[in-house]
Amino acid sequence: MDASITSQVATVKLLIDGQFVESKSTQWRDIINPATQQVLARVPMATQQEVDAAVTAAQKAFKTWRKTAIGARARIFLKYQQLIREHMTELAALLTAEQGKTLPDAEGDVFRGLEVVEHASAIGNLQLGELANNVATGVDTYTLLQPLGVCAGITPFNFPAMIPLWMFPMAIATGNTFVLKPSEQDPMVTMRLVELALEAGIPPGVLNVVHGGEDVVNAICDHKDIKAVSFVGSTKVGTHVYNRASLAGKRVQCMMGAKNHAIVLPDANKEQTLNALAGAAFGAAGQRCMAVTTAVLVGEAQKWIPDLVAKAKTLKINAGKEQGTDVGPLISCAAKSRVESLIERGVADGAKLELDGRNPAVAGYDKGNFVGPTIFSGVKPGMSIYEQEIFGPVLCLVAADSLDSAIDFINTNPNGNGTAIFTQSGAAARKFQDDIDVGQVGINVPIPVPVPLFSFTGSRASKLGDLGPYGKQVVMFYTQTKTVTARWFDDDSTGGLNTTISLK
């Protein structure tokens, strides 16, 4: 990039000990609007010294933050959720500019994170221990859920608002301090959320932010003073994070790749099912870890393929900020090239290309990273479009002759993030929910992400670590259970306090 242009582009700051500071790094990355290729800002690849400074600030703040009354912590998040609501339009516009989502999708991204902030404000009811009175004569046993210390989060590009809000609010509400590493591809909306968090009252050092790529991820995994790491992203990186951070003695949760299936039975409501599949497969340009990437059509439902293609053709491809857009651009030129190469590979592998979304004409955005809805039928295991997580608006159709064979097909896949069934049969739905080995299960719900009262789960290769993000499980993840057995005496001969003594 020309030096004169570079000097005019804003830089994304680090947050260390309550101060937004310019990185001293010599390595920077451009943040690109995926619809126009406009450079929006530059983000630094933080140095080891800057990561150390962030952790040191968090470690220092932990000494007092862990002692802060739980009600005071809760009130900060009550204020925070109010600020997020007040700035929803601004946050969605910023997210759309750097990530490419449609404005409704961007608002949904922020809102699903907001729900976790609201959950954090109820921490007084969540971080409760247990008491067993008189387990022996005069002896009580009780548990305390105490914070771990400095925790860290590594977040992906596809939900730059929601997933950071999955992490630091619950970690901080439970009494920990936090170091956040947002995606280097779209950190601007994350940083705006961080600014609002400080405005809500989070003290200096309790929340810190560093930016970067692999080197910063490794620095977080290796740092001796970080006690727990939460990660959401690809299976390759997640496996690396889990192994490296676990080896360093940390508590780790990794939500990773997926190949989400939907089973369509012939008795399903046809119009509702087609709408659900189109939205779940092509919405957010397919860049969701919970996107439906494979539909298993059972029996007569295989005749619905022309109707599904017709439905997909009605979706409007455009820049995310434009009204009425259904499918926005992919995050980067590299992502577009990868998706297009996998489509080409699908044809070469023998799948039938029912709808080709490559090279759509988008007026006014000829440089955008656009791929339109794409549908393959006749997809089989072993094909690249089935084996790999495409992370684009590509739907694979698989034929099955029965519900049992469809369930077996899904359970054979290594991933187990999300799945759904479309049917009007209660018996079929019940069999599906019992027999399927997948974390999130939808019944006539295409993207069954649970509300924060419950925990996001996952199974098999989609998850490493026993405890998931948000819900009751994340309170256990961010706390250490301490069990206390206590016995008190009131007899003077024991050296204890006499019950008649007035304690002032």
| Beta-sheet pairing, 207-209 with 177-181 | parallel
Sign of the Cα pseudo-torsion (169, 174, 180, 182, in order): negative
Q: How far apart are CA 67 and CA 46, in angstroms?
A: 31
Phi-psi region of 492 (alpha: psi -120 to 50; beta: other; left: phi over 0): alpha
Closest alpha carbon to 313 in 419, 259, 393, 384 = 393
Q: Give the whole-angstrom CA distance, residue 176 versus residue 457.
A: 22
> Would you state the structure tokens that stand for residue 54, as one six-digit string?
């962030």
User: What 3-state DSSP class applies to 479?
Assistant: strand
What is the β-pairing status of strands 292-298 and 260-264? parallel
Residue 71 has a CB neighbour count (10 Å cut-off) of 9
Residues 118-152 as b or e (16 or more Cβ within 10 Å = b): bbbbebeebbeeeeeeeeeeeeeeeeebbbbbbbb
Euclidean distance between CA atoms 452 and 444, whole angstroms:
20
Angle between helices 88-99 and 70-86 (to 10 degrees): 70
List residues with catalytic annotation: 289
Residues β-bridged to residue 151? 178, 228
Burial of 245 (C-beta count, 10 Å sphere; 0-12/13-18/19+) = buried
Encoded tokens for 136: 């022996």
